[in-house]
């Protein structure tokens, strides 16, 4: 073989080896995400997310607008190029105000649709019903509603208020403003029962007195006996933890009996602009609610949020605290996914914890220790136009404390267990007389 032929053969071998190395590199690049459980973003396919709210049933009056706010945030992401170049595809599911439906659909969204996250739920009975589903699959729920606390799950991001960001400051403010005789009325499920237990501890610590406590089933409309007892007990203030469209019947019964804010004011913990609109401002005017957002807030971010939402959905749907929490939850999820370059929760979770942004209500921050959000606390009074005038403001975001210090954690857990057992393995009563107790 000539020297020239030897050189040619050697060069041919080198080219062949280089080609084989390149091919192996391409194969390994394709296999690595599956071998090591890392899936990089594929710009050609959308990122699917679940939007799981009650579009029908007793909770639709509150939840439907929250679903719209979630979809609106997703639309904004897509208008700005999606998340890391991928369009976000929402899958909207009606939970039908039925917790078993929520759990079943959450399972399907995770296992069949393979969504990146689920945004949804309102009542704590619903959240507690779906919580085991998310924990079993190591998936994530973004929960946008103020709640009773006593919970901390690695698979839930709580963008609504913990007890020390709503219940506790509003109780103190009410006793200072109105007097120390308190009447508690709520829907018969885990949030009102637990919120009222927290309030009873705090009222006692502040040397106040709970003069009455009564519950109705979710969707219940019979308040005659309760209103009669309120009149007999003559409290200084009513603490209202009724949820959904039962609020309309409650306020109608109050006004029909002559109970007005001037003589017995109501402080509500689940009332927002959408419920006031459904009830009628004339029935609620002068009463109070505590939230972390009111649409009257005068921030640049809130003006932009309100104007853009109004342009998309019209003027008939007012923006509310759960809507704002749902809205910024979507945007914080998007930031975390983009930073992690992955749409799988186990891979973007670290980027999500500690995430912050300037929301319509102000600076919000996901606490890495609790997965709850630092929030500013507001108390508002209902005006004639159905909006809230802010009468108290914490002026700064408050660190979330899921377990109030009135009892040890073990006692709080025992309290929840007793409710669960009383309701035969559910987080809401099957029926209730509505009688004072």
Residues 145, 158: Cα–Cα separation, whole Å = 8
* Average pLDDT rounded to a whole number, residues 389-400: 97
Would you call 373 helix, strand, or coil by DSSP? strand
- Topology (CATH) of 47-161+298-375: Rossmann fold (3.40.50)
CB-based contacts of 311: which residues, under 8 Å, 6+ apart?
none
Residue 360 tokens, joined: 């319509």
* Average pLDDT rounded to a whole number, residues 296-311: 96
Of the pLDDT bands very low, low, confident and very high (cuts 50, 70, 90), residue 368 is: very high
Q: Residue 153: its pLDDT value, please?
A: 97
Q: 413-417: which pairs have CB atoms within 8 A and are 24 or more residues apart?
A: 413/150, 415/150, 415/194, 415/197, 416/150, 416/190, 416/194
Of the pLDDT bands very low, low, confident and very high (cuts 50, 70, 90), residue 62 is: confident
CATH superfamily of 164-294+379-422: Response regulator (3.40.50.2300)
Q: Is the pLDDT of residue 249 over 70?
A: yes
Q: Is 378 in contact with 392 (CB distance < 8 Å)?
A: yes
Buried b (16+ CB within 10 A) or exposed e, 151-165: bbbebbbbbbbbbbb
Q: Which residue has the tokens 């899936």?
A: 39
Helices 345-352 and 321-340 pack at an angle, to 10 degrees, of 110
Q: Is the pLDDT of residue 272 over 50?
A: yes
Of the pLDDT bands very low, low, confident and very high (cuts 50, 70, 90), residue 245 is: confident
pLDDT, averaged across the chain: 90
Q: Is the pLDDT of residue 350 over 70?
A: yes
- DSSP 8-state assignment for residue 287: -
Q: Residue 10: its pLDDT value, please?
A: 55
* Average pLDDT rounded to a whole number, residues 167-172: 98
- DSSP 8-state assignment for residue 163: G
Q: Residue 13: its pLDDT value, please?
A: 55
Length of the chain: 437
For the entire predicted model, the pTM comes to: 0.86
CA distances from 328 to 63, 305, 319, 357 (A): 16, 10, 13, 8
**Alpha carbon 213 to its chain's center:** 26
* Average pLDDT rounded to a whole number, residues 60-64: 91
Domain limits, the chain? 47-161+298-375, 164-294+379-422
Residues 385, 218: Cα–Cα separation, whole Å = 27
Residues 237, 84: Cα–Cα separation, whole Å = 51
Residues 336, 363: Cα–Cα separation, whole Å = 17
Q: Residue 4: its pLDDT value, please?
A: 46
Would you call 178 helix, strand, or coil by DSSP? helix
Topology agreement, domain 47-161+298-375 and domain 164-294+379-422: yes
Highest mean pLDDT among 5-19, 26-40, 78-92: 78-92
**What phi and psi values does residue 390 have, to the nearest 5 degrees?**
-70, 120
Residues 247, 382: Cα–Cα separation, whole Å = 15
CB-based contacts of 58: which residues, under 8 Å, 6+ apart?
97, 218, 219, 244, 245, 246
Taking only the tens place, the pLDDT of each residue in 127-167 is 999 999 999 999 999 999 999 999 999 999 999 999 999 99
Taking only the tens place, the pLDDT of each residue in 106-116 is 999 999 999 99
């Amino acid at each position: 073989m000539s020297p020239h032929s030897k050189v040619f053969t050697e060069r041919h071998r080198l080219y062949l080896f280089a080609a084989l190395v390149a091919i192996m590199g391409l194969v390994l690049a394709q296999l690595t995400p599956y071998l090591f459980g890392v899936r990089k973003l594929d710009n050609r396919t959308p990122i699917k997310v679940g939007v799981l709210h009650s579009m029908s049933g007793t909770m639709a009056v509150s939840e439907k607008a929250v679903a719209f706010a979630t979809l609106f945030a997703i639309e904004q992401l897509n208008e700005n190029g999606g998340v890391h170049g991928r369009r976000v595809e929402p899958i909207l599911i009606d939970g039908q105000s039925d917790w078993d439906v929520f759990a079943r659909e959450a399972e399907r969204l995770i296992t069949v649709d393979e969504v990146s996250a689920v945004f949804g739920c309102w009542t704590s009975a619903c959240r507690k019903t779906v919580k085991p589903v998310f924990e079993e699959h190591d998936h994530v729920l973004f929960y946008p509603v103020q709640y009773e606390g006593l919970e901390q799950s690695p698979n839930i991001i709580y963008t609504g208020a913990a007890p020390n960001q709503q219940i506790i400051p509003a109780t103190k403010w009410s006793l200072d403003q109105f007097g120390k005789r308190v009447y508690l009325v709520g829907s018969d499920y885990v949030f009102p029962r637990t919120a009222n237990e927290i309030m009873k501890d705090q009222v006692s610590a502040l040397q106040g007195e709970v003069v009455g406590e009564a519950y109705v089933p979710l969707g219940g409309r019979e308040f005659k006996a309760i209103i009669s007892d309120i009149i007999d007990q003559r409290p200084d203030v009513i603490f209202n933890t009724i949820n959904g469209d039962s609020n309309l019947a409650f306020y109608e019964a109050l006004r029909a009996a002559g109970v007005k804010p001037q003589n017995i004011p109501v402080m509500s913990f689940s009332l927002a602009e959408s419920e006031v609109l459904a009830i009628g401002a004339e029935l609620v005017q002068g009463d109070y609610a505590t939230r972390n957002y009111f649409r009257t807030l005068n921030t640049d971010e809130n003006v932009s949020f309100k104007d853009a939402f109004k342009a998309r959905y019209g003027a008939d749907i007012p923006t509310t605290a759960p809507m704002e929490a749902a809205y910024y939850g979507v945007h914080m999820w998007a930031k975390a996914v983009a930073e992690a370059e992955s749409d799988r929760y186990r891979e973007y979770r670290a980027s999500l914890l500690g995430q912050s942004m300037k929301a319509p209500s102000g600076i919000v921050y996901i606490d890495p220790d609790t997965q709850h959000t630092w929030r500013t606390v507001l108390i508002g009074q209902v005006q004639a136009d159905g909006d809230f005038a802010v009468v108290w403001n914490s002026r700064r975001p408050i660190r979330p404390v899921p377990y109030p210090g009135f009892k040890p954690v073990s006692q709080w857990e025992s309290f929840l267990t007793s409710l669960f057992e009383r309701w035969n393995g559910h987080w809401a009563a099957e029926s209730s007389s509505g009688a004072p107790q």
